[in-house]
Each structure stands twice: as structure tokens, then as C-alpha cells.
Structure 1
Amino acid sequence: MAVPPEEGQFLSIMLKLMNAKKTIEIGVFTGYSLLLTAMALPKDGKITAIDIDKSAFEIGLPFIKKAGVEDKINFIESPALPVLDKLVQEVGEDELYDFAFIDADKVSYGEYHERLLKLVKVGGVIAYDNTIWFGTVAVPEDASLPMFAKEGRTALIALNKFLAADPRVEISQVPIGDGLTICRRLY
């Protein structure tokens, strides 16, 4: 349940090319993508990291500390939607995020998208992980899929269709890992 190394390297170089300084990550798990993001940001870079389970994050925390980047991370243990709603109310135009990475509950991706469009600056990037979902989004529904896979498949098909038609973003779906959809905010 971590991004594969090639996806992590891709995200890292993308952050450097963007000169990103302020990012948000929804769904941290043990913090591998968080570590790569923190290492890609400049010394004054900051990450707001949101996850419902801090115990998983604490597994990766020694590696984050060893890399010397823990001071860049503000970890918030909470469901993401209430935190995002609060940020939408509090964050000013000059405090918007450069980049957002989402690798959390797939059913909520659409709700995250609406909030993140208010939190990521114009020209910034929102990246959704797992948008190919084991390849299931491109084939007929399989009755033998476990329930979590069916729910994720349904949610991600809806998200993919929505993002493809959303005029507020320009997208690219990259077949790396389990699929990564990159959205550049246009307005």
C-alpha cells in the first residue's frame, strides 16, 4: 500500500520541475510518498499530511527523521474532508498549495477534488493515485471482485469520467503503478 518506486521518482522530479514549496497529501499510510515529497521540496518547503491512522505513519517516521525532513511535515490525524473544509475557510489566496497528492479512500476522491480546486493555486497540480485500479476501470465488471475493489472501481470510473470533462483542469493519466492522474488547475 505504498506508491511504487518509479511513481515516487516521477512525483519527485515533477515537484522539482514545478519548484513546489507547499504541498498537501491525503492518505499517508507509512509515509513513503510523503518522504519523497519532503526530500524534493526546498529547505523551506512545507507539507500538510492528512491520514486517519497515525500509527501507520509512525512506522515510516524513523526514515523521515533519518532523512532530516520531519520539520517540513505537519501531520494531521483525521478524516480528510473536515480538515479540507477547514482549510478552504482559512487559507488565503497567497497561501494556496502548489501540489496535492491523493492516495486515500477512493470513494471520496470526487469530494476531495472540489475542495482541492479551492486550495491548489492556478497552475498547480492535483495528482490522484490508483486511477487505473488494477486495470478494472477499463474492463466489464467482474462479479468475483471483492467488495472494496468493486466500490473503488465504481468510484474511480466516475472520477475518471468527471476529470476528463472538467474544464477547470487539464489532465494526463499516466500508466505508472496502478495509474496516476495528474490534473493541472486552469482556473
Structure 2
Amino acid sequence: MENPPIKMVPNAVVLQSEELVEYILETSVYPREPQLLKELRNATSTHPLAFMGGSPDASQLLALLLKLTNAKKTIEVGVFTGYTLLLTALSIPDDGKITAIDVDRKAYEIGLPIIQKAGVERKINFIESQAIPVLDKLFEDKANEGSYDFAFVDADKVNYLNYHGRIMKLVKVGGLIVYDNTLWGGTVYWPEEAVPQGKRPLRLSVMEFNKKIAADDRVDISLVPLGDGSTICRRLR
């Protein structure tokens, strides 16, 4: 006899609870957040696009993944004011290196004094540019292929699949790639008519990305409902 479909989703209610998110932040995240990250988060709070800053709860997981994998050479696509960039720089070894790419140096310079205060600027190679030309240029040196331990992507969602195709060649087998905002404000499961007009195009990009990643047998994946959703990929081949 065919098994009936399983309908139970135990976390469906609690994941929508702002009170639970606040509990997680106040109990487990903020008490362990380094002071310099708090300073950078506060410096970002007055920016008109402050919502683009790294989510502290998702970032806490990011730091743990960096340490568990002993990541040393990393790449970050999308920097904004540098919350996750500083977190990465604090998490990797003293001789670690980060290639950081963003089109907006002014936003990066909001967090730069705090990055300098932390004494980790030497680990960062910030490149002001669209990401795809930089990623393509990295392939000019064959030594870059399969040489990165870790990648974090939090840039324009319409290009996530384009980034994935390139970063998969840069990250080593066994390395991790983390994509941010893969729940897109929860709209990925909303009926189309309930989604604000301005969110629809990028929502479709995120949904297409999620579908393609789920079918990509070159990676293990887990979509984690922290912050705005983080998809963790481990390169298998």
C-alpha cells in the first residue's frame, strides 16, 4: 500500500514568530557577538538600506561553519558595510585571505574603520566591481581553480545561478558555498498575487535558484531558515 503524503510541518508556526527570533537573538546570538561586530551593526543601522546588513543569527552560523571547515582562503560576493566580511576575517587564521567584491565602496567604507580597528584589514582584498568580471578574471590564473575553501554570496539575486556556475569551479571539493536571502522575506511560498509588485522579479529569481540548486547533484545542500534564509552547499565533485 502506498504511503500517504506527510503533511506535518512542525516548525511552520514558530518560524513565523517574531518573538521566537527575538528570543534566539537575545539568548544565543547577541551575548556571543564580538563587540566590534556590534559596533559595525550599529554603524550600519543609520544607512537607508540597513536591512541589507548581515543577519546576526545567520552570521553566527556562518562563523561556526568557517571554523569547523578550517577555512583559510575565502571569497565574498556582496559586501555592503562589511558585517559578514568582518565576521569572516575574525574567524579565519591570521594568514587567511578574503577576496571581497562589491560595486559600492562607499557602503564598505562605513565599516572599514571598524575593520581597521579589529586589525584584520590585511586579510581583505576588496575589489570595487561587478562580480562576474572579477570571477572570470580569477580563472586567468589556473591556480585559483579549486583553491578556495569557502564562499559567501549576498549580492544581486538575479545572478545567483551565474555566480554558482563560476564559484563551483573556484571552491575546492569539500568546500562550502553559502547563499543568503534564499527565502526572500518569506515570499517564496506566497501566492503570486500576495507578493508586492516590487518583490516579484527577484522573488522569481530566488525561486528558480532554489529549484536549480535542489537538482544540482554536484552539491549537498541545506536551506536554513535563519535570517532571510541561507542555503549551504558543500561541493561534492
TM-score (norm 2): 0.76
Query: Which of residues 105, 108, 130 is equivalent to 1:54?
Result: 105
The answer to whether the aligner puts 1:155 opposite 2:155 as a matched pair is no
Q: Which has the higher strand share?
A: 1
Amino acid at match of 2:62: L
Counterpart of 1:185 in structure 2 is 235
Deviation at 1:146, TM superposition (A): 3.5
What secondary structure does 1:23 align onto?
strand
Q: Is the 8 A contact 2:183 2:229 kept in 1?
A: yes
RMSD between aligned alpha carbons? 1.3
Structure 1 residues 14 and 158 mapped into 2: Cα distance closer, same or farther (>3 Å)? same
Give the structure with higher Rg (CA): 2
The answer to whether the aligner puts 1:118 opposite 2:169 as a matched pair is yes
What secondary structure does 2:203 align onto?
helix
The answer to whether the aligner puts 1:74 opposite 2:125 as a matched pair is yes
Deviation at 1:144, TM superposition (A): 5.2
Deviation at 1:96, TM superposition (A): 1.1
User: Which aligned segments of 4 or more residues in structure 1 are displaced greater than 6 angstroms?
Assistant: none
Q: Is the 8 A contact 2:146 2:173 kept in 1?
A: no
Q: Is the 8 A contact 1:12 1:37 kept in 2?
A: yes
Residue identity over aligned pairs, in percent, reads: 62
The answer to whether the aligner puts 1:164 opposite 2:210 as a matched pair is no
Q: Is the 8 A contact 2:77 2:131 kept in 1?
A: yes
What secondary structure does 2:166 align onto?
helix
Matched residue pairs, number? 186
Q: More relative contact order in 1 or in 2 (CA 8 Å, sep 6+)?
A: 1
Gaps of 5+ in 1: none
TM-score (norm 1): 0.96
